[in-house]
Structure 1
Amino acid sequence: MKVPKLMAYCLLATGALAFSGCSRNPVTGKKELVFMSPEKELATGQQAHPSIVATMGLYEDKNLQDFINVKGKAMGAISHLPNLSYQFHIVDSPVVNAFAVPGGYVYFTRGIMAHFNNEAEFAGVLGHEIGHITARHSARQQTKQGIGQLGVILGAVAFPQMAQGVQGLVGSILLSYSRAHETESDEIGVGYSSKIGYDAREMADFFGTLKKLSDESGHVIPTFQSTHPDPGDRQVKVKALATEYQQKMPGTYQVNRDEYLRRIDGIIYGEDPKQGFVENMVFYHPELKFQMPVPRDWGYENSPQQFQMAPKDGKAMMILTLAQGKTLEEAGQEVLKQFNLQALESQKTTINGNPALVMVSKQAPPQQQQGQPQQAQTPENTVQLATWLIQYGGLIYAVHGMTYQATFNTYASTFKGVAQGFRSLTDPEKLNRKPDRIQIKAVQRNGTLQAALQDYRMPANKMKELSVLNGMELNDQVTKGMLIKTLGK
């Protein structure tokens, strides 16, 4: 989380959809009815890109950026839309993810770049994302959702996806691609990465890495519901697709492990402390000089503009971000207006010496569209929020706790405990914390991955994490001189 890119995590309204009628899909060759023209897709991407950059930030690494540009342009040239002006960017997020927006914009987080173990894994995911664009999944999904649904569609290879039940409360509407579209993009990714000379079986192995991350995702916001196929299932299917492709098209397919590892030597790994980090279930922000507790056994996700937390069953969520407005009262009105909420109660208070405003509100009934039946609001489908607006350091912070009305009382004390734990950060060790960086080292002797990591004095509590980072098991055999990932400052 950093100042002052607020709310709207890669989300923005795009205006009225253009009706383009029947058009031929570049990938399938079939005619289909779509409500978004190619020109509108391009305009959508052009409109979304500045917001994405402002919200997430770009990761500055010229050599790595040059690499993804070269590979991306090569793949774009053999894609089903070779004349599209593709753009490729690395965004400054530790989350393991890649996504695309209409019009040729493809993004990789530094988190996913750190987890790739060779160029072929990267190429497979690159092909998957370009596949979302060339197969016009955005236009097809917009058509399926209807003209009344507005929003930039992100095609993500990994996770997390925001909950449909609270989408309107975190900025705008995020439309996830369907499982069928994800599966189609996997198949396209196999073809595209193979055509530029990479072994697509490595793409399958990367889904194995995603499966391990998913199984141990205590640090990732759990989903209320997922539209993505299970990574383990995708690993099996992609492996079969890649094998079938190579049987039909025999040739030499590259992996380029060492070349890729050398490219990411020194990349920041995990949370960048200056943007905030969690330690012993406390969120610290050295740059903004505050700290706040994280509920026990809750998952969390930090992005440049907000910090999110949720229990593993996904039935509630908390968000810390910056509020708009010059006063607490203005900020409160902005929250109600921005998220279409009805205020139930409001009270001024102080939190650890900081002026604060506490509000309880609920989701307002949606506007009824002509010809559409009005869905009745019930405690089970109506979101209720507790919001603490805290004035600190010349800024106003918003701490939102949200769940459905039926379960609000269950989480109310947890919400309150987190908000009232917001306080100034004065610990010099936390204020001066440096980020972890990946350091590529050569194995010193034949043996297991665990032994090789121990030779470089990697801590015992990092061993499992490092095995996932290396795409291996701790008892896998390594040989002297082999390159592996370690962590350092």
Structure 2
Amino acid sequence: MKKYSITCLMVSVLLLFNSCSTNPVTGKKDVMLMSEEQELALGRESDPQIIAQFGLYDNPAMQRFIQEKGQQMAAISHRSNIKYEFKIVDSPVINAFAVPGGYVYFTRGIMAHFNNEAQFAGVLGHEIGHIAARHSAQQQSKGILAQLGLIVGMVVSPEFAQFGDVASQGLGLLFLKFGRDAERESDQLGVEYSTKIGYDAHQMADFFTTLQRQQEKSGNAPIPDFLSTHPNPGDRYTTVNQLATDWQQKLSLQNPKVNRNNYLKMIDGIIYGEDPKQGFVENNVFYHPELKFQFPIPANWAYQNTPQQVQMAPKDGKAMMFLTLAPGETLEAAAQQLVQKYQLQPIESKKITVNGLPAIAIVADQKPQQQTQQQQQVVRTLTYIIQYGGNNYSMIGASSAENFNSYFQLFSNSMENFRELSDPDKLNRKPERVRIKTISQSATLAQALRANKVPDTKMEELAILNGMKLDDRLDQGTLIKVVEK
């Protein structure tokens, strides 16, 4: 037995030794259970899922900008040997994230909040830093990365994890998080890389202040990955500023680039907040102008709308509801595929009409997997599959069997009030956009915003968007952001 144990130990040590690889940034050995080829393959698999989840932001000039700057920075990174891709996704959330294998994504929400190219470059360097130091591959090796899609639920209970991609995409965008050491290292790399391509990395520190102000204003709303598991914002600001000074001295960089006006002119017209054509909520009703349907959302439920589905849940996470397209030539075929996909056991099924539209209603149970039966309750579902406009729409409400009766009326109220959208005001709703204005005379930011008819209720929000304080004095000719339809 002792001999067997020693043999096992030797095999384990040998496997561990073989799984070590040299970190491209530090030069030290890291335990890495994922080869570089596996890491690259993971990125290739993740990319289409991320694009399907959010969609690309339709602005060729901005997409070219992120590609050009990204490739320029990747070329001087510690992993210039791999292929990188840089994309702006169509999400209002303020975020940027990287996945294994060289894929970097910025949301249009974060692009709207940058106030110059140097801020953008610092964050770009930070995300490339995660890839260069193989942080996400390390997370995968440690078993911390929960799933390929990199998005987890915010308010949905574990019982609903059985719904797989639906529950795990959840409510809110909570992207892959790294530990504080990894974040510090990526901050250092962000400063190094952005300085090496000529930008002023002090601006990166200033952007962290913008993010911190946004967090304080938003309360518990989903905020950038930068402020979740990251170092103390105040310490981080000081550290990044010092690193920026050190690197500029080290490289003898004179007159580092900021490029404020160029950047602001590029983002002039960028969509700010939700894009109504993709669906929006008003007075607890979800409207989709392009697909021309509407349905009510239960009061006080959180929701998230993506190109793939609309998801809703109460804050306590004891239930969830989502709407998505159901493949199938007929209602019956769509119902059969849905039952198979979620491994449901129908209790009751009947044909109905919903506001004149043909539909099928199903009550079904989804029992926990065998190995987790003791920890998880039976999930009971109410599903309406509704035929409208050449599509089959599935609306699924789920809770524990014990709580199902308490949520049944909320589920059925949303489903039975699915109907055609015909209100011209909702069909023709326009998005808010960031507009760049030139101030005609020296003034404070507050005075400049008021001159552009910004209401008092929006003043602090616009100050954060501009990366300024309301009492900051601005010279004549300064460009500022306002938000207009």
Taking structure 2 as the reference length, the TM-score comes to: 0.81
Secondary structure, aligned partner of 2:121: helix
C-alpha distance 281-84 of structure 1, shift in aligned 2 (>3 A): same
Distance 1:472 1:228, change over 3 A: closer
Q: Distance in 2 between matches of 1:161 and 1:129?
A: 23
The equivalent residue for 2:330 is 327
Task: Write the deviation string for residues 232-288 of structure 1: whole angstroms up to 9, x where unpaired.
Answer: 955324313212313433355433322211110122222223222223332211111
- Could you say if the C-alpha distance between residues 336 and 20 of structure 1 is closer, same or farther in structure 2, counting changes exceeding 3 Å? farther
* 1:77 aligned to which of 72, 75, 78: 75
294 and 137 in structure 1: CA distance in 2 versus 1, 3 angstrom threshold: same
- Shift in Å at residue 321 of structure 1? 1.7
Helix, strand or coil for the counterpart of 2:433? strand
Deviations 1:278-329 (CA, angstroms, capped at 9, x unpaired): 2333221111111122333333332222223344455544322212223333
1:376 matched to 2:403:
no
- Structure 1 contact 218–300 (Cα < 8 Å) conserved: no
Is residue 439 of structure 1 aligned with residue 440 of structure 2?
no
CA displacement at 1:68 relative to structure 2:
1.3
Aligned residue for 1:424? 420
Deviation larger for 42-51 or 388-397: 42-51
1:389 aligns with 2:373: no
The residue number in structure 2 matching 1:308 is 311
Structure 1: which amino acid aligns with 2:211?
Answer: L
Q: Which amino acid aligns with 2:462?
A: L
1:199 and 2:195 are equivalent in the alignment: no
Paired position in structure 1 for 2:272:
269
Letter of the 1:332 counterpart: A
Once the two structures are superposed, the pairs formed by residues 9-48 of structure 1 within 5 Å of their partners are 21-48=19-46
**Corresponding residue number in structure 1 for 2:6:** none
- CA distance in 2: counterparts of 1:242 and 1:152, whole angstroms: 31
Do residues 450 (structure 1) and 453 (structure 2) align? Answer: no
- Cα distance in structure 2, aligned partners of 1:41 and 1:284: 40
Deviations 1:402-452, CA, capped at 9 Å, x for gaps: 455565555443333322332111111221222222210012333333332
Between 474-483 and 403-412, the greater mean CA deviation after superposition: 403-412
Please, which runs of 5 or more residues in structure 1 have no aligned partner? 1-18, 369-373
Q: What do residues 338-379 of structure 1 show as CA deviations (whole Å, max 9, x unaligned)?
A: 3344445444433222223333445432354xxxxx562344
CA deviation string 1:176-219 (max 9, x = no partner):
33434445434433333333333334334434433444455599
CA distance in 1, matches of 2:369, 2:225: 24
The AA in structure 1 aligned to 2:265 is R
Q: What is residue 12 of structure 2 aligned with on the other side?
A: none
| Distance in 1 between residues matched to 2:316 and 2:215, nearest whole Å | 14
Structure with more helix by fraction: 2
Matches within 5 A, 1:135-214: 135-145=133-143, 151-152=147-148, 154=150, 165=158, 166-169=160-163, 171=165, 176-180=176-180, 181-214=182-215
Residue in 2 aligned with 1:487?
483
CA deviation string 1:103-131 (max 9, x = no partner) = 21112222221121221221222122212
When residues 295 and 346 of structure 1 are mapped into structure 2, their CA distance, relative to the original with a 3 A threshold, is same
2:467 corresponds, among 444, 451, 471, to 471
C-alpha distance 168-113 of structure 1, shift in aligned 2 (>3 A) = farther
Q: How does 1:345-424 map to 2 (within 5 A)?
A: 345-366=348-369, 368=371, 374=372, 376-379=374-377, 384-404=380-400, 408-424=404-420
What corresponds to 1:13 in structure 2?
Answer: none
Alpha-carbon distance in 2 for matches of 1:288, 1:49: 26
Query: Are 1:283 and 2:286 an aligned pair?
Result: yes
1-structure distance, mates of 2:85, 2:235: 29
SS in 2 for 1:415: helix
Contact kept? 1:445, 1:481, Cα under 8 Å: yes
Identity of aligned residues (%): 52
Q: Secondary structure at the match of 1:444?
A: coil
Larger radius of gyration: 2
The answer to whether the 8 Å contact 1:320/1:399 transfers is: yes
Q: CA RMSD in A?
A: 3.4
Q: Cα 1:412–1:475, aligned 2, differ >3 Å: closer, same or farther?
A: farther
Deviation at 1:486, TM superposition (A): 1.4
- Which secondary structure does the structure 1 equivalent of 2:384 belong to? strand
- Whole-Å Cα distance in 2 between the matches of residues 280 and 461 of structure 1? 20
Bigger shift: 106-115 or 26-35? 26-35
Change (3 A) 1:357 1:473: farther
Shift in CA distance, 486/375, structure 1 to aligned 2, threshold 3 Å: same
Instruction: Measure the CA separation in 2 of the matches of 1:408 and 1:228.
Output: 38
Deviations 1:458-484 (A, max 9, x none): 345544433332233444443432211
Alpha-carbon distance change, 87 to 230 in structure 1, aligned in 2, over 3 angstroms: closer
Q: Residues 242 and 67 of structure 1: is their aligned pair in 2 closer, same or farther, counting only changes over 3 Å?
A: same
**Which residue type is aligned with residue 352 of structure 2?**
T
